[in-house]
Chain A
Amino acid sequence: MNYSAELVELIEEFKEIDDKMERLEMVFELADEVNLLPSDQWTDSTRVHGCQSEAHVKIGLVNSNVNFQAGADSKLVQGLMGILTMAIHGCDANIVLELTPNFASEMGILNSLSPSRSNGFRNMFDKVMNEIRTQLEAQL
Protein backbone atom coordinates (compact mmCIF):
# COMPACT_ATOMS: atom_id res chain seq x y z
CA MET A 1 0.00 0.00 0.00
CA ASN A 2 1.23 3.49 -0.77
CA TYR A 3 1.21 5.57 2.37
CA SER A 4 -0.81 8.76 2.46
CA ALA A 5 1.21 11.98 2.26
CA GLU A 6 0.26 12.63 5.89
CA LEU A 7 1.61 9.26 7.00
CA VAL A 8 4.81 9.65 4.97
CA GLU A 9 5.39 13.01 6.65
CA LEU A 10 4.76 11.49 10.06
CA ILE A 11 7.20 8.63 9.41
CA GLU A 12 9.87 11.15 8.39
CA GLU A 13 9.21 13.26 11.49
CA PHE A 14 9.61 10.24 13.76
CA LYS A 15 12.79 9.17 12.01
CA GLU A 16 14.37 12.54 12.74
CA ILE A 17 13.83 12.27 16.49
CA ASP A 18 16.65 10.53 18.36
CA ASP A 19 15.50 11.29 21.87
CA LYS A 20 13.17 8.64 23.24
CA MET A 21 11.32 11.05 25.47
CA GLU A 22 10.58 13.39 22.55
CA ARG A 23 9.39 10.45 20.49
CA LEU A 24 7.06 9.37 23.30
CA GLU A 25 5.87 12.97 23.63
CA MET A 26 4.96 12.96 19.95
CA VAL A 27 3.02 9.69 20.35
CA PHE A 28 1.17 11.27 23.29
CA GLU A 29 0.20 14.25 21.11
CA LEU A 30 -1.15 11.93 18.41
CA ALA A 31 -3.73 10.65 20.91
CA ASP A 32 -5.78 13.68 19.82
CA GLU A 33 -6.01 12.31 16.26
CA VAL A 34 -8.25 9.46 17.39
CA ASN A 35 -11.98 9.46 16.64
CA LEU A 36 -12.84 8.62 20.20
CA LEU A 37 -14.83 5.54 21.00
CA PRO A 38 -16.43 6.57 24.33
CA SER A 39 -15.76 4.22 27.23
CA ASP A 40 -19.48 3.50 27.64
CA GLN A 41 -19.31 1.80 24.22
CA TRP A 42 -16.40 -0.45 25.23
CA THR A 43 -17.47 -4.09 25.10
CA ASP A 44 -15.74 -7.43 24.91
CA SER A 45 -16.13 -7.34 21.13
CA THR A 46 -14.32 -3.98 20.87
CA ARG A 47 -11.56 -4.99 23.27
CA VAL A 48 -8.03 -5.58 21.99
CA HIS A 49 -6.92 -8.75 23.73
CA GLY A 50 -3.31 -9.21 24.70
CA CYS A 51 -2.88 -5.52 25.43
CA GLN A 52 -1.84 -4.62 28.99
CA SER A 53 -4.10 -1.55 28.94
CA GLU A 54 -7.79 -1.28 28.28
CA ALA A 55 -7.77 -0.75 24.52
CA HIS A 56 -10.87 -0.76 22.33
CA VAL A 57 -11.41 -0.37 18.59
CA LYS A 58 -14.50 -0.21 16.38
CA ILE A 59 -14.53 -0.46 12.61
CA GLY A 60 -17.26 0.66 10.25
CA LEU A 61 -17.31 0.84 6.46
CA VAL A 62 -18.89 3.86 4.77
CA ASN A 63 -19.04 3.32 1.01
CA SER A 64 -16.11 0.93 1.41
CA ASN A 65 -14.10 3.57 3.22
CA VAL A 66 -12.82 2.72 6.73
CA ASN A 67 -14.35 4.49 9.70
CA PHE A 68 -12.01 3.84 12.65
CA GLN A 69 -12.93 4.67 16.25
CA ALA A 70 -10.75 3.81 19.21
CA GLY A 71 -10.10 4.52 22.88
CA ALA A 72 -7.73 3.42 25.65
CA ASP A 73 -7.02 4.12 29.29
CA SER A 74 -3.40 4.82 28.35
CA LYS A 75 -2.53 7.97 26.47
CA LEU A 76 0.44 6.19 24.92
CA VAL A 77 -1.81 3.44 23.55
CA GLN A 78 -4.27 6.05 22.36
CA GLY A 79 -1.35 7.77 20.62
CA LEU A 80 -0.62 4.54 18.77
CA MET A 81 -4.29 4.45 17.85
CA GLY A 82 -3.86 8.01 16.54
CA ILE A 83 -1.07 6.83 14.26
CA LEU A 84 -3.26 4.00 13.00
CA THR A 85 -6.06 6.54 12.47
CA MET A 86 -3.78 8.56 10.20
CA ALA A 87 -2.86 5.39 8.34
CA ILE A 88 -6.35 4.00 7.68
CA HIS A 89 -9.24 6.33 8.61
CA GLY A 90 -11.22 7.42 5.57
CA CYS A 91 -9.13 5.23 3.23
CA ASP A 92 -10.52 2.63 0.86
CA ALA A 93 -10.83 -0.65 2.76
CA ASN A 94 -9.34 -2.73 -0.08
CA ILE A 95 -6.25 -0.56 -0.10
CA VAL A 96 -6.01 -0.54 3.70
CA LEU A 97 -5.86 -4.35 3.68
CA GLU A 98 -2.55 -4.13 1.85
CA LEU A 99 -1.05 -2.31 4.84
CA THR A 100 1.41 -4.13 7.10
CA PRO A 101 2.56 -3.01 10.55
CA ASN A 102 5.95 -2.16 8.99
CA PHE A 103 5.08 1.53 8.93
CA ALA A 104 5.25 1.57 12.74
CA SER A 105 8.63 -0.14 12.64
CA GLU A 106 9.83 2.41 10.07
CA MET A 107 8.91 5.18 12.49
CA GLY A 108 10.95 3.48 15.19
CA ILE A 109 8.05 3.78 17.63
CA LEU A 110 7.91 0.07 18.42
CA ASN A 111 11.53 0.20 19.59
CA SER A 112 10.53 2.91 22.04
CA LEU A 113 7.97 0.66 23.69
CA SER A 114 8.16 -2.31 26.01
CA PRO A 115 7.77 -5.72 24.31
CA SER A 116 4.27 -6.05 25.78
CA ARG A 117 3.23 -2.67 24.37
CA SER A 118 4.60 -3.37 20.90
CA ASN A 119 2.85 -6.77 20.95
CA GLY A 120 -0.30 -4.89 21.97
CA PHE A 121 0.10 -2.65 18.92
CA ARG A 122 0.40 -5.67 16.64
CA ASN A 123 -2.68 -7.25 18.26
CA MET A 124 -4.59 -4.03 17.67
CA PHE A 125 -3.42 -3.90 14.06
CA ASP A 126 -4.44 -7.54 13.46
CA LYS A 127 -7.85 -7.02 15.05
CA VAL A 128 -8.52 -3.95 12.92
CA MET A 129 -7.47 -5.73 9.72
CA ASN A 130 -9.57 -8.79 10.55
CA GLU A 131 -12.65 -6.64 11.19
CA ILE A 132 -12.18 -4.77 7.91
CA ARG A 133 -11.78 -8.07 6.05
CA THR A 134 -14.90 -9.54 7.70
CA GLN A 135 -17.03 -6.50 6.95
CA LEU A 136 -15.82 -6.34 3.36
CA GLU A 137 -16.68 -10.01 2.85
CA ALA A 138 -20.13 -9.42 4.38
CA GLN A 139 -20.77 -6.75 1.76
CA LEU A 140 -20.10 -9.16 -1.11
Chain B
Amino acid sequence: MREEFPILQREINGYPLVYFDNAATTQKPNSVINAMNDYYSNSNANVHRAVHTLAGEATEGYESCRSALKARFNANKAIITSGTTEAINLVAHAWGRANLSDGDAIILTEMEHHSDIVPWQMLAQEMNIELRFIPVQKDLTLDMDLFEAAIEGAKLVCVVHISNVLGVCNPVEKIIDIAHRNGARVLLDAAQSAPHQDINFEELGADFMAFSAHKMCGPTGIGALLVTDDAFDEMQPFMGGGDMIETVSIRGSTYQKNEQKFEAGTPRIAEAIGWTEAIKWLNSVDIKTEHKRILNSARWLANQLRNLGMKVYARHGDNDAAVVSFLHPTMNSEDLAHLLDARGFAVRTGHHCAQPLLERLEINGTVRVSLYFYNTHEEVVSFVEYFTEIMERFA
Protein backbone atom coordinates (compact mmCIF):
# COMPACT_ATOMS: atom_id res chain seq x y z
CA MET B 1 0.00 0.00 0.00
CA ARG B 2 2.74 2.50 0.95
CA GLU B 3 4.33 2.49 -2.49
CA GLU B 4 1.12 4.02 -3.86
CA PHE B 5 1.80 7.18 -1.79
CA PRO B 6 4.84 9.00 -3.20
CA ILE B 7 5.18 11.41 -0.26
CA LEU B 8 5.80 8.50 2.11
CA GLN B 9 9.17 7.99 0.41
CA ARG B 10 10.24 11.48 1.49
CA GLU B 11 12.93 12.19 4.07
CA ILE B 12 12.70 14.99 6.64
CA ASN B 13 16.00 16.22 8.10
CA GLY B 14 17.65 13.11 6.66
CA TYR B 15 15.17 10.70 8.29
CA PRO B 16 12.23 8.85 6.75
CA LEU B 17 8.98 10.78 7.06
CA VAL B 18 6.67 9.20 9.64
CA TYR B 19 3.35 10.89 9.00
CA PHE B 20 1.14 10.77 12.10
CA ASP B 21 -1.06 13.82 11.40
CA ASN B 22 -3.81 12.00 9.52
CA ALA B 23 -6.71 13.44 11.51
CA ALA B 24 -5.69 16.82 10.06
CA THR B 25 -5.25 15.55 6.51
CA THR B 26 -4.23 12.34 4.80
CA GLN B 27 -1.66 11.78 2.05
CA LYS B 28 -2.68 11.12 -1.56
CA PRO B 29 -2.07 8.01 -3.66
CA ASN B 30 -0.67 8.23 -7.19
CA SER B 31 -4.10 7.51 -8.66
CA VAL B 32 -5.50 10.75 -7.17
CA ILE B 33 -2.50 12.87 -8.18
CA ASN B 34 -2.43 11.40 -11.70
CA ALA B 35 -6.19 11.81 -12.26
CA MET B 36 -6.05 15.52 -11.36
CA ASN B 37 -2.97 16.01 -13.53
CA ASP B 38 -4.63 14.15 -16.40
CA TYR B 39 -7.76 16.28 -16.13
CA TYR B 40 -5.80 19.53 -16.42
CA SER B 41 -3.56 18.08 -19.15
CA ASN B 42 -6.27 16.56 -21.30
CA SER B 43 -9.86 17.39 -20.33
CA ASN B 44 -9.98 20.82 -18.69
CA ALA B 45 -13.30 22.55 -19.40
CA ASN B 46 -16.27 23.86 -17.49
CA VAL B 47 -19.01 21.38 -16.64
CA HIS B 48 -22.63 20.96 -17.69
CA ARG B 49 -24.27 22.95 -20.51
CA ALA B 50 -21.59 23.07 -23.27
CA VAL B 51 -21.72 20.30 -25.88
CA HIS B 52 -18.05 20.08 -26.87
CA THR B 53 -16.00 17.00 -26.07
CA LEU B 54 -13.94 18.51 -23.27
CA ALA B 55 -17.04 19.80 -21.47
CA GLY B 56 -18.53 16.34 -21.76
CA GLU B 57 -15.45 14.74 -20.24
CA ALA B 58 -15.30 17.32 -17.44
CA THR B 59 -19.00 16.84 -16.66
CA GLU B 60 -18.65 13.08 -16.67
CA GLY B 61 -15.62 13.35 -14.38
CA TYR B 62 -17.37 15.71 -11.96
CA GLU B 63 -20.60 13.74 -11.83
CA SER B 64 -18.68 10.47 -11.41
CA CYS B 65 -17.66 11.80 -7.99
CA ARG B 66 -21.30 12.21 -6.99
CA SER B 67 -22.06 8.70 -8.21
CA ALA B 68 -19.07 7.28 -6.31
CA LEU B 69 -20.19 9.05 -3.12
CA LYS B 70 -23.76 7.82 -3.43
CA ALA B 71 -22.59 4.28 -4.05
CA ARG B 72 -20.01 4.20 -1.26
CA PHE B 73 -22.30 5.69 1.39
CA ASN B 74 -25.65 4.45 0.08
CA ALA B 75 -27.19 7.92 -0.23
CA ASN B 76 -29.78 9.38 -2.59
CA LYS B 77 -28.53 12.93 -2.47
CA ALA B 78 -24.90 14.07 -2.34
CA ILE B 79 -24.29 17.82 -2.49
CA ILE B 80 -20.68 18.61 -3.29
CA THR B 81 -19.21 21.36 -1.09
CA SER B 82 -15.79 22.77 -0.30
CA GLY B 83 -15.51 20.50 2.73
CA THR B 84 -17.12 19.58 6.05
CA THR B 85 -17.22 23.20 7.20
CA GLU B 86 -19.13 24.39 4.15
CA ALA B 87 -21.42 21.38 4.36
CA ILE B 88 -22.37 22.27 7.95
CA ASN B 89 -22.78 25.94 7.07
CA LEU B 90 -25.01 24.84 4.19
CA VAL B 91 -27.32 23.03 6.63
CA ALA B 92 -27.38 26.11 8.85
CA HIS B 93 -28.29 28.44 5.98
CA ALA B 94 -30.32 26.25 3.64
CA TRP B 95 -32.19 24.17 6.22
CA GLY B 96 -31.83 26.15 9.45
CA ARG B 97 -33.13 29.46 8.15
CA ALA B 98 -36.12 27.79 6.50
CA ASN B 99 -37.09 25.45 9.34
CA LEU B 100 -36.09 27.09 12.61
CA SER B 101 -37.73 30.03 14.29
CA ASP B 102 -37.55 32.20 17.36
CA GLY B 103 -37.22 30.11 20.53
CA ASP B 104 -36.34 26.80 18.85
CA ALA B 105 -33.51 24.70 20.25
CA ILE B 106 -30.51 22.95 18.69
CA ILE B 107 -28.53 20.30 20.54
CA LEU B 108 -24.76 20.20 20.19
CA THR B 109 -22.10 18.39 22.17
CA GLU B 110 -18.98 19.64 23.92
CA MET B 111 -17.03 17.28 21.66
CA GLU B 112 -17.81 19.23 18.48
CA HIS B 113 -15.20 20.72 16.20
CA HIS B 114 -15.43 24.52 15.95
CA SER B 115 -16.93 23.98 12.47
CA ASP B 116 -19.97 22.42 14.12
CA ILE B 117 -20.30 25.10 16.80
CA VAL B 118 -19.62 28.50 15.26
CA PRO B 119 -22.20 28.29 12.40
CA TRP B 120 -24.87 27.47 15.00
CA GLN B 121 -23.76 30.25 17.33
CA MET B 122 -24.03 32.69 14.43
CA LEU B 123 -27.49 31.40 13.49
CA ALA B 124 -28.61 31.34 17.14
CA GLN B 125 -27.63 34.96 17.59
CA GLU B 126 -29.46 35.97 14.43
CA MET B 127 -32.64 33.91 14.96
CA ASN B 128 -32.85 33.77 18.77
CA ILE B 129 -32.29 30.03 18.90
CA GLU B 130 -31.30 28.19 22.06
CA LEU B 131 -28.14 26.04 21.90
CA ARG B 132 -27.99 23.12 24.34
CA PHE B 133 -24.58 21.51 24.80
CA ILE B 134 -24.32 17.87 25.92
CA PRO B 135 -21.39 17.54 28.33
CA VAL B 136 -18.47 15.14 27.96
CA GLN B 137 -17.99 12.97 31.04
CA LYS B 138 -14.75 12.02 32.80
CA ASP B 139 -14.66 8.72 30.89
CA LEU B 140 -14.63 10.78 27.65
CA THR B 141 -18.15 9.74 26.63
CA LEU B 142 -21.19 11.94 26.10
CA ASP B 143 -23.65 12.23 28.96
CA MET B 144 -26.55 10.39 27.32
CA ASP B 145 -28.88 10.94 30.29
CA LEU B 146 -28.54 14.68 29.81
CA PHE B 147 -29.01 14.23 26.07
CA GLU B 148 -32.33 12.46 26.67
CA ALA B 149 -33.33 15.20 29.08
CA ALA B 150 -32.36 17.94 26.62
CA ILE B 151 -34.02 16.53 23.51
CA GLU B 152 -37.54 17.75 24.25
CA GLY B 153 -38.40 20.67 22.01
CA ALA B 154 -35.16 20.44 20.00
CA LYS B 155 -35.47 20.72 16.23
CA LEU B 156 -31.95 19.65 15.30
CA VAL B 157 -29.19 17.56 16.85
CA CYS B 158 -25.62 18.17 15.63
CA VAL B 159 -23.16 15.53 16.70
CA VAL B 160 -19.64 14.55 15.80
CA HIS B 161 -19.41 10.86 14.87
CA ILE B 162 -15.75 10.47 15.91
CA SER B 163 -13.94 13.11 17.97
CA ASN B 164 -10.90 14.54 16.17
CA VAL B 165 -9.15 15.02 19.53
CA LEU B 166 -10.03 11.83 21.39
CA GLY B 167 -10.85 9.39 18.60
CA VAL B 168 -13.96 8.48 20.59
CA CYS B 169 -16.82 7.15 18.45
CA ASN B 170 -20.14 8.44 19.73
CA PRO B 171 -23.28 6.24 19.95
CA VAL B 172 -24.83 7.91 16.92
CA GLU B 173 -27.38 5.14 16.24
CA LYS B 174 -28.87 5.74 19.68
CA ILE B 175 -28.67 9.53 19.28
CA ILE B 176 -30.44 9.37 15.90
CA ASP B 177 -33.13 7.09 17.30
CA ILE B 178 -33.84 9.36 20.28
CA ALA B 179 -33.75 12.49 18.13
CA HIS B 180 -36.16 11.10 15.54
CA ARG B 181 -38.58 9.83 18.19
CA ASN B 182 -38.68 13.42 19.40
CA GLY B 183 -39.10 14.95 15.96
CA ALA B 184 -35.60 16.39 15.62
CA ARG B 185 -33.41 16.11 12.55
CA VAL B 186 -29.81 14.94 12.95
CA LEU B 187 -26.65 16.34 11.38
CA LEU B 188 -23.68 14.02 11.63
CA ASP B 189 -20.17 15.49 11.43
CA ALA B 190 -18.46 12.52 9.79
CA ALA B 191 -15.15 14.23 8.97
CA GLN B 192 -13.23 11.67 11.04
CA SER B 193 -15.51 8.65 10.58
CA ALA B 194 -16.03 8.65 6.81
CA PRO B 195 -12.33 7.85 6.23
CA HIS B 196 -12.24 5.10 8.87
CA GLN B 197 -15.55 3.25 8.62
CA ASP B 198 -17.87 1.73 6.05
CA ILE B 199 -20.89 3.99 6.65
CA ASN B 200 -24.30 3.17 5.22
CA PHE B 201 -26.01 6.57 5.34
CA GLU B 202 -29.52 5.25 4.68
CA GLU B 203 -29.28 2.50 7.30
CA LEU B 204 -27.69 4.78 9.88
CA GLY B 205 -30.66 7.12 9.50
CA ALA B 206 -29.09 10.56 9.97
CA ASP B 207 -30.71 13.36 7.97
CA PHE B 208 -27.46 15.11 7.06
CA MET B 209 -23.89 13.87 6.97
CA ALA B 210 -20.93 16.19 6.36
CA PHE B 211 -17.37 15.15 5.52
CA SER B 212 -14.24 16.14 3.58
CA ALA B 213 -12.26 14.48 0.80
CA HIS B 214 -8.82 15.37 2.09
CA LYS B 215 -9.15 13.25 5.22
CA MET B 216 -9.81 10.19 3.07
CA CYS B 217 -6.86 10.47 0.66
CA GLY B 218 -8.67 12.88 -1.67
CA PRO B 219 -7.78 16.48 -2.54
CA THR B 220 -8.24 19.50 -0.29
CA GLY B 221 -11.03 22.00 -1.02
CA ILE B 222 -13.83 19.50 -1.61
CA GLY B 223 -16.31 17.65 0.58
CA ALA B 224 -19.91 16.60 0.63
CA LEU B 225 -23.21 16.84 2.40
CA LEU B 226 -25.33 13.70 2.17
CA VAL B 227 -29.01 14.46 2.69
CA THR B 228 -32.14 12.33 2.93
CA ASP B 229 -34.88 13.08 0.42
CA ASP B 230 -37.18 14.43 3.15
CA ALA B 231 -34.60 16.81 4.56
CA PHE B 232 -33.55 17.82 1.04
CA ASP B 233 -37.11 18.93 0.30
CA GLU B 234 -36.99 21.20 3.34
CA MET B 235 -33.86 23.03 2.16
CA GLN B 236 -34.03 26.41 0.44
CA PRO B 237 -31.32 27.69 -1.93
CA PHE B 238 -28.52 29.39 -0.06
CA MET B 239 -25.86 30.63 -2.46
CA GLY B 240 -27.18 32.08 -5.71
CA GLY B 241 -25.40 32.07 -9.05
CA GLY B 242 -24.66 30.00 -12.13
CA ASP B 243 -25.34 26.27 -12.27
CA MET B 244 -27.95 26.30 -9.49
CA ILE B 245 -30.67 27.87 -11.64
CA GLU B 246 -33.15 26.48 -14.12
CA THR B 247 -34.15 29.83 -15.63
CA VAL B 248 -33.26 33.43 -14.91
CA SER B 249 -35.18 36.48 -16.03
CA ILE B 250 -35.26 40.03 -14.79
CA ARG B 251 -38.57 39.16 -13.08
CA GLY B 252 -37.03 36.31 -11.07
CA SER B 253 -35.35 32.92 -11.22
CA THR B 254 -36.26 29.28 -10.88
CA TYR B 255 -33.89 26.72 -9.43
CA GLN B 256 -32.58 23.28 -10.22
CA LYS B 257 -34.44 20.46 -8.53
CA ASN B 258 -31.46 18.25 -7.75
CA GLU B 259 -28.22 18.74 -5.79
CA GLN B 260 -27.04 21.40 -8.24
CA LYS B 261 -29.51 23.74 -6.53
CA PHE B 262 -26.85 24.01 -3.79
CA GLU B 263 -23.77 24.08 -6.01
CA ALA B 264 -23.70 27.64 -7.36
CA GLY B 265 -20.79 28.67 -9.55
CA THR B 266 -18.13 26.63 -11.30
CA PRO B 267 -17.57 23.58 -9.12
CA ARG B 268 -14.32 21.92 -8.04
CA ILE B 269 -13.92 19.76 -11.11
CA ALA B 270 -10.32 18.56 -10.76
CA GLU B 271 -10.87 17.92 -7.06
CA ALA B 272 -14.02 15.90 -7.77
CA ILE B 273 -12.11 13.79 -10.29
CA GLY B 274 -9.33 13.28 -7.75
CA TRP B 275 -11.82 12.39 -5.03
CA THR B 276 -13.43 9.76 -7.24
CA GLU B 277 -10.05 8.02 -7.41
CA ALA B 278 -9.64 8.31 -3.64
CA ILE B 279 -13.04 6.68 -3.14
CA LYS B 280 -12.04 3.88 -5.51
CA TRP B 281 -8.85 3.47 -3.49
CA LEU B 282 -10.81 3.35 -0.22
CA ASN B 283 -13.27 0.87 -1.74
CA SER B 284 -10.31 -1.44 -2.39
CA VAL B 285 -9.20 -1.37 1.26
CA ASP B 286 -10.41 -4.01 3.72
CA ILE B 287 -11.40 -1.33 6.21
CA LYS B 288 -12.41 -3.63 9.09
CA THR B 289 -9.07 -5.46 9.03
CA GLU B 290 -7.02 -2.31 8.53
CA HIS B 291 -8.91 -0.43 11.22
CA LYS B 292 -8.32 -3.23 13.70
CA ARG B 293 -4.62 -3.25 12.84
CA ILE B 294 -4.02 0.49 13.34
CA LEU B 295 -6.30 0.59 16.40
CA ASN B 296 -4.13 -2.12 18.00
CA SER B 297 -1.05 -0.02 17.22
CA ALA B 298 -2.75 3.00 18.81
CA ARG B 299 -3.62 0.97 21.93
CA TRP B 300 -0.02 -0.22 22.19
CA LEU B 301 1.26 3.34 21.72
CA ALA B 302 -1.11 4.68 24.38
CA ASN B 303 0.18 2.11 26.89
CA GLN B 304 3.81 2.87 26.08
CA LEU B 305 3.20 6.59 26.52
CA ARG B 306 1.43 5.98 29.85
CA ASN B 307 4.45 3.95 30.97
CA LEU B 308 6.64 6.92 30.06
CA GLY B 309 4.53 9.13 32.35
CA MET B 310 2.27 10.77 29.76
CA LYS B 311 -1.37 11.58 30.43
CA VAL B 312 -3.28 9.93 27.58
CA TYR B 313 -6.74 11.11 26.50
CA ALA B 314 -8.25 8.13 24.69
CA ARG B 315 -10.57 5.15 25.20
CA HIS B 316 -9.74 2.99 22.17
CA GLY B 317 -12.94 1.00 22.09
CA ASP B 318 -13.44 -1.16 19.01
CA ASN B 319 -15.13 1.60 16.99
CA ASP B 320 -12.86 4.42 18.15
CA ALA B 321 -10.29 5.90 15.80
CA ALA B 322 -6.56 5.18 16.00
CA VAL B 323 -5.87 8.55 17.63
CA VAL B 324 -3.65 9.08 20.67
CA SER B 325 -3.86 12.49 22.31
CA PHE B 326 -1.46 12.98 25.18
CA LEU B 327 0.33 15.47 27.38
CA HIS B 328 3.68 15.44 29.12
CA PRO B 329 3.31 16.49 32.77
CA THR B 330 5.69 19.44 32.41
CA MET B 331 7.14 19.63 28.91
CA ASN B 332 5.57 22.05 26.44
CA SER B 333 3.70 20.22 23.66
CA GLU B 334 5.13 22.34 20.86
CA ASP B 335 8.66 21.77 22.14
CA LEU B 336 7.94 18.06 21.92
CA ALA B 337 6.55 18.41 18.40
CA HIS B 338 9.67 20.31 17.29
CA LEU B 339 11.90 17.58 18.67
CA LEU B 340 9.79 14.91 16.98
CA ASP B 341 9.96 16.77 13.68
CA ALA B 342 13.76 16.80 13.95
CA ARG B 343 13.64 13.03 13.29
CA GLY B 344 10.84 13.14 10.70
CA PHE B 345 7.81 12.44 12.95
CA ALA B 346 4.85 14.63 11.97
CA VAL B 347 2.35 15.10 14.82
CA ARG B 348 -0.06 17.90 15.67
CA THR B 349 -0.25 20.03 18.79
CA GLY B 350 -2.68 22.65 20.01
CA HIS B 351 -6.41 22.88 20.58
CA HIS B 352 -7.34 20.92 17.43
CA CYS B 353 -10.25 23.34 16.83
CA ALA B 354 -12.13 21.85 19.77
CA GLN B 355 -11.67 24.37 22.56
CA PRO B 356 -14.94 23.60 24.43
CA LEU B 357 -13.81 19.97 24.76
CA LEU B 358 -10.39 21.01 26.06
CA GLU B 359 -12.04 23.42 28.48
CA ARG B 360 -14.08 20.49 29.81
CA LEU B 361 -10.87 18.43 30.14
CA GLU B 362 -9.22 21.46 31.82
CA ILE B 363 -6.29 21.53 29.40
CA ASN B 364 -5.14 23.95 26.70
CA GLY B 365 -4.13 21.43 24.07
CA THR B 366 -2.61 18.03 23.43
CA VAL B 367 0.02 16.34 21.31
CA ARG B 368 -1.96 14.20 18.86
CA VAL B 369 -0.79 11.12 16.98
CA SER B 370 -3.36 10.02 14.41
CA LEU B 371 -2.81 6.92 12.29
CA TYR B 372 -4.17 5.93 8.91
CA PHE B 373 -4.16 2.74 6.90
CA TYR B 374 -0.73 3.32 5.34
CA ASN B 375 0.95 3.62 8.74
CA THR B 376 2.81 0.60 10.04
CA HIS B 377 3.36 -0.76 13.52
CA GLU B 378 7.11 -0.43 12.87
CA GLU B 379 6.61 3.32 12.54
CA VAL B 380 4.80 3.38 15.89
CA VAL B 381 7.63 1.38 17.49
CA SER B 382 10.24 3.78 16.07
CA PHE B 383 8.17 6.67 17.46
CA VAL B 384 8.26 5.16 20.96
CA GLU B 385 12.02 4.52 20.70
CA TYR B 386 12.72 8.09 19.70
CA PHE B 387 10.23 9.49 22.20
CA THR B 388 12.03 7.56 24.94
CA GLU B 389 15.30 9.14 23.79
CA ILE B 390 13.70 12.60 23.97
CA MET B 391 12.56 11.89 27.52
CA GLU B 392 16.05 10.82 28.51
CA ARG B 393 17.72 13.84 26.95
CA PHE B 394 15.24 16.64 27.56
CA ALA B 395 12.60 15.88 30.16
**Chain A contact residues, CB within 8 Å of chain B:** 19-21, 24-25, 28, 52-53, 73-77, 112-114, 117
Contacts and interface: CB of A to CB of B under 8 A. Distances in A.
A25 B394 contact: yes
A53 B334 contact: yes
Given A20-B342, A113-B338, A75 B332 contact: yes
B392 to A, nearest CB: 12
| Interface of A, helix, strand, loop or mixed by DSSP | helix
B343 interface: yes
B139 to A, nearest CB: 29
A53 B332 contact: yes
12 contacts: A19-B342, A20-B341, A21-B13, A21-B339, A24-B338, A24-B342, A25-B393, A52-B334, A74-B335, A75-B394, A77-B332, A114-B341
B334 A74 contact: yes
Contacts of B353: none
Contacts of A24: 338-339, 342
Interface in B282-339: 331-332, 334-335, 338-339
Contact of B338 (A19, A73, A114): A114
A76 B343 contact: no
B211 to A, nearest CB: 28
A111 to B, nearest CB: 11
Given A21-B342, A21-B343, A73 B332 contact: yes
A74 B339 CA distance: 13
Interface of B: 13, 331-332, 334-335, 338-339, 341-343, 350, 393-394
Nearest to A72: B332
Nearest to A76: B335
Interface centre among B13, B331, B332, B339 (most CB of A within 10 A): B332
A73 to B, nearest CB: 6
Contacts of B334: 52-53, 74, 76, 114, 117
Interface centre among A21, A53, A112 (most CB of B within 10 A): A21
The 3 A-B residue pairs with the shortest CB-CB distance, nearest first, are A21-B342, A74-B332, A20-B342
Given A75-B332, A112-B338, 11 more contacts: A21-B13, A21-B342, A24-B338, A52-B334, A53-B334, A74-B332, A74-B334, A76-B334, A113-B338, A114-B334, A114-B341
A76 B338 contact: yes
Contacts of A113: 338
B7 to A, nearest CB: 19
A113 B337 CA distance: 10
Contacts of A52: 334, 350
Contacts of B335: 28, 74-76
Contacts of B350: 52
Contacts of B339: 21, 24
Interface centre among B334, B339, B343 (most CB of A within 10 A): B334
A112 B337 CA distance: 12
A52 to B, nearest CB: 6
Nearest to B393: A25
A74 B338 CA distance: 11
Nearest to B394: A28
Nearest to B335: A76
A128 to B, nearest CB: 21
A109 B338 CA distance: 12
Contacts of B393: 25
A119 to B, nearest CB: 13
A132 B342 CA distance: 35
A52 B365 CA distance: 11
Contacts of A21: 13, 339, 342-343
Nearest to A23: B342
Nearest to B350: A52
Given A25-B393, A76-B338, A113-B338, A20 B13 contact: yes
A106 B343 CA distance: 23
Contacts of A117: 334, 338
A75 B331 CA distance: 8
